[in-house]
Structure 1
Amino acid sequence: MTAPLGVILAGGRATRMGGGDKGLLMLRERPLIGHVIDRLTPQCATLAINANGDPARWDDFALPVLPDSVADQPGPLAGVLAGLDWAAARGADAIVTAAADTPFCPADLVARLQAQVGPSGLCLAASPDSTGRLQRHPTFGLWPVALRDDLRVALTDGLRKIVLWTDRHASGVAVFDSVPHDPFFNVNAPEDMAQAETLLGRA
């Protein structure tokens, strides 16, 4: 299959980390988003960052910065829509999204999502939690450009929860192993950064 475009969702406000952009927090002398870029670059045709506010703060990464096209920052789905509009303008068929605060995202994310795609072209990533229960990770997905207008209408109508929209379209699910650690581990609090340092040392 053709490599999709990649969009890194960097809209988190890091309230538990003191505010600011989580993706710019440093992990081993590299911003969190830098680790995500390193992992996604070999898998995607090209990358962009979804973020609002002054785009200059992302200049070090030399990537397009896509603001939400929907008002009031309604959440990750708005970032998906911004990515789909960007992809459509480039003549692409799909995007893959990843969160900016997940430094261990899978090196085979794209291939696994493409292998489990649903009939609509959608697929979300999932992994088992510590109890073995499967948890979907809705900021990690394969999204077809063909559904962008449907998503725009859903957002305009007030939809915010990603899985409510993906379930409407019979999304596939790609399951990733959580051993030795969950590849979708994300940094939400200072203790998570300490854990990320430990995991990176083991890697």
Structure 2
Amino acid sequence: MKIFKTFILNCLNFLKIPELKLPKEAIEEFDTLYNDFVSEGKGDFFEYKSSYPKYLFLNYLIENKTVLVHGSNHSDIKIFEPRDSTLFTGKPVKAVFASSDGVWSMFFAVIKRSGYRGTIRNACFTNKTKNGIKRYYFFSVNEEYKNEPWTDGTIYILPKPFFKQGGVNDEWICEMEVKPLAKLSVTPKDFIFLDQVNYHNEKDSTIKTFVKAVVLNRK
């Protein structure tokens, strides 16, 4: 079954990120940032002092520390409170949401929600291999929305022990209030798939949008 899953994911036209393979210098920088600004749990912004992309830092923390991430346009959240929403599978739930994927959360941090019209369609899947975790994505926004859909945002780093898995592997939920450990400013340029986001017709179903983009490789 695992071999079949890997074959299907690799054959489809997902946006893909390979397993983490970081140089020693990057690991040392990321560990220093974590120890200096995240581990104490003050919930403050910190200066990102690294030349490596922010998504690598976030995925490194997720894979090696007990943290999850949440992306938002809002920079002043001090406490996350459970809200009515739905899991990726459509099941209703009242919870705080987080992700075990830095890129997926970054998409939600930089997609401009204020004034946006239409649906935001997306997916994130991961596959464990002998070399780590390979990541697969799909992102699509309304083709009729003519305003600038991107903005600066914030990634909140959250304590993983308070969460349980949601509808898919990289979706996590907590049914009580959660205080962020730290927060990181991000811009649309930090989202590595900014120029590869699909555009969909609102009249099309989500399944049709997915098939056109991932199976037929058509925007």
Q: Settle same-fold status: TM greater than 0.5.
A: no
Report the TM range for the smaller structure's normalisation.
Answer: under 0.3
Please identify the structure whose Cα radius of gyration is greater: 2
Normalised to the residue count of structure 1, the TM-score between the two structures is 0.28
**Which has a greater percent of strand?**
2
Normalised to the residue count of structure 2, the TM-score between the two structures is 0.26
